[in-house]
Structure 1
Amino acid sequence: MSDPIRVRLTGVGGYLPRDVVTNDDLALKYGIETSDEWIRTRTGIAQRHIASGDETTASMAAEAARQALDYAGVEASEVDAVLVATATPDQVFPAVAVQVQALLGITTGFGFDLSAACSGFVYALATARALMQAGQAKKILVIGSEVFSRLLDWTDRSTCVLFGDGAGAVLLEASHDGEEGILSTHLHSDGRTGDILYVDGAAGCASATQKLRMQGREVFRHAVVKLSQAVDEALAANNLTGQDIQWMVPHQANLRIIEGMAKKLALPSDRVVVTVDRHANTSAASIPLALNEAVRDGRIRKGDLVLMEALGGGLTWGSALVRM
């Protein structure tokens, strides 16, 4: 009987757009009735990166992927599949993933996009793991890439101050030995709550603005409960407690939610990776961007136990536990 396939995370990468927009810029340059103090106290956000005209979901995803491949010492030609989690594709089709294949010079294997809003990266991790354990691929690029700035109603300060653009990527490799790898993933959705966080229409809807709409208080209320559930599931599935976690890399939506989850796990603040202050909410890109930063600056090391969690429109939510 062969050893079970382990799915190891061997490469990390990230890309942030060139244009940095501070909270003060939103008021002075964008004409939004807001202030740095108002945004910071409610969200923890100080600035965000906004994509320029030549920066797209695909171009950012490809750059993040190049970095992940370089980190792992793997050539693009060795990649069997590309999975891109995004709610902001450049086109209805082809998928961002196949555009990334072309940009990286990958001519074999397969690629597709996955839509689960801010939970997309966790969903993509779970999907890639299942594909690898089924023998469909040995090396998969999993990418979260978003240009949420192009979905925002810039007259609505309750939403436009919250989001930013960017891309993060990881390389996953199949292995038959070692303790490292994705230990478990836990996914959920509930379409009954789809009306509290959504984008108003797309190609399938005849009359729509295609702008992001959110009931912030309702999203916050659901986030606390549902993320706690997903975290408890991950710990129970692996017979662990919060004290066993070395690092939490959460979806970067709101500092108060992040702090609440850290408190639940009894994790000190220096064991929680926070980028929301500088990146804002980059949706499916937020976890891999934060992971890339913490791995590259030496905080997260080989062997560390890392918990990831996210909640997004749908509502969708989930968690993943990874031994680096």
Structure 2
Amino acid sequence: MHRVAISSTGIFTPPEVITNAELVASYNAYAALQNARHADEIAAGTRVTLTDSSVEFIEKASGIQRRYVMEKTGVLDPERMRPHFTPRPDTEISLMAEIAVKACQDALSAAGKTAADVDGVICASANMQRPYPAMAIEIQTALGVQGYGFDMNVACSSATFALEQAVNAVRCGSARAVVVVNPEITSAHQAWIDRDCHFIFGDVCTAILVERLDLAPAGSFEVLGTKLLSTFSNNIRNNNGFMSRSEDRDPDDRDQLFRQEGRKVFKEVCPMAAEHIEQHLKSLDLTPQQVRRFWLHQANLGMNQLIAKKLLGRDATVDDAPVILDEFANTASAGSIISFHRHHADIAAGEVGVICSFGAGYSIGSVVVKRLP
């Protein structure tokens, strides 16, 4: 059995930014249009008046200040409220694979590696552009990796769940190195028309290179252990799928996009995540107080503050649990990886950290790592 390390990470950041002020102006214009169009139903009491959003509401509810997106014009159009993507022919690389390749190349470059050093690609994302052929195989081929690729979807926990599969493949010797890549074009399944969640998501892509420790560059992070948990809940759900057309569903129906019971999620997931991390550390003879840094899923500032406080027994600082959601918003599976990517350089040799994500399912995944000399 081989010892395993995270050698490097990479990121692709989309070219366009939407501020909260822009988003609020767009949503409020949409709400005014809808209220005018349905004035008779509202007067009759058969339809609810859409209320305005505000920058203050968004920042208080989430801590989010802005987000990156692949295309903002369509999102901000009150008559459209979704991005506008041009269909590509099958002979052209898909949008999701294109951004994944860029993030993978960034990760490989950071470790001084090439595609020839990699045996597998796992594309782990909250939503896939298509059912088949697998996005991972398209990414693998575009990179020039000789080996295998497969897709995984465990919503916002996709990256950590995929990391366990990558670690196990390397540990048992079936691969020298595996790239886990998380292309998240969340703007395409975000409900921009819903005041309660129109601000939540942003687009991004991250990549993680997992390889045998003896092949990893100096300063890599040894994987001490991984731990996964899932339990079914309807509190975060998206019903869009291949059966929707057979059910004669309208793709704009509210349940064909992201939706959640936010308060229930907060109340239920926070203690679950804290307990999960604590038990994972205990299995490795570690305590939360011995952890130098927690790279947590970036969904909500209040959630992360509460989880970190439960673990540490005190209010956590941004050094304990870095925040990137103010800039990126919730990027689904990529959030904890962006946090690690941005905030690992100052970790000293021998210090321990935890990467943890949590989300729909419910699902929770954690990876405990130690900095190498």
Q: Same fold (TM over 0.5)?
A: yes
Letter in 1 for 2:131: V
Alpha carbons 1:138, 1:173 under 8 Å: kept: yes
Match of 2:102 among 63, 72, 79: 63
User: Alpha-carbon deviation of 1:101?
Assistant: 1.3
Larger Rg: 2
Alpha carbons 2:16, 2:69 under 8 Å: kept: yes
User: Alpha-carbon deviation of 1:289?
Assistant: 1.6
Which string of whole-angstrom CA distances, capped at 9 and with x for unpartnered residues, describes residues 191-249 of structure 1? 2x1x1111122013433443111111111112112101211122111111111111110
User: Alpha-carbon deviation of 1:79?
Assistant: 0.8
Partner Cα distance (1:35, 1:103) in 2? 43
In structure 2, relative to structure 1, the CA distance for the partners of 1:11 and 1:113 (3 Å cut) is same
Alpha carbons 1:56, 1:147 under 8 Å: kept: no
Partner Cα distance (1:253, 1:301) in 2? 27
The residue aligned with 2:49 is none
What TM-score do you get using the length of structure 2 for normalisation? 0.80
Partner Cα distance (1:158, 1:276) in 2? 17
Partner Cα distance (1:315, 1:190) in 2? 5
SS of structure 1 residue aligned to 2:109:
helix
User: Alpha-carbon deviation of 1:159?
Assistant: 1.8
Partner Cα distance (2:25, 2:215) in 1? 56
Match of 1:96 among 132, 135, 144: 135
Alpha carbons 1:82, 1:142 under 8 Å: kept: yes
The residue aligned with 1:239 is 285
Which string of whole-angstrom CA distances, capped at 9 and with x for unpartnered residues, describes residues 249-269 of structure 1? 000000001111221232433
The residue aligned with 1:160 is 198
The residue aligned with 1:169 is 207
Partner Cα distance (2:104, 2:350) in 1? 23
Partner Cα distance (2:303, 2:369) in 1? 21
The residue aligned with 1:41 is 60
Alpha carbons 1:58, 1:90 under 8 Å: kept: no
Alpha carbons 1:183, 1:323 under 8 Å: kept: yes
User: Alpha-carbon deviation of 1:34?
Assistant: 1.4
Partner Cα distance (2:129, 2:190) in 1? 15
The residue aligned with 2:44 is none
Letter in 2 for 1:16: T
Q: Does 1:126 align with 2:164?
A: yes
Partner Cα distance (2:226, 2:108) in 1? 23
In structure 2, relative to structure 1, the CA distance for the partners of 1:28 and 1:301 (3 Å cut) is farther
The residue aligned with 1:197 is 236
User: Alpha-carbon deviation of 1:163?
Assistant: 0.8
Partner Cα distance (2:106, 2:199) in 1? 29
The residue aligned with 1:83 is 122
- Consecutive unaligned residues of structure 2, counting only runs of 5 or more, are 31-51, 72-84, 87-93
Alpha carbons 1:122, 1:310 under 8 Å: kept: yes
Letter in 2 for 1:269: V
Which string of whole-angstrom CA distances, capped at 9 and with x for unpartnered residues, describes residues 108-150 of structure 1? 1000111100011110111111111222101110112211110
Partner Cα distance (2:295, 2:263) in 1? 23
Alpha carbons 1:144, 1:288 under 8 Å: kept: no
Q: Percent identity?
A: 30
What TM-score do you get using the length of structure 1 for normalisation? 0.92
Q: Does 1:144 align with 2:182?
A: yes
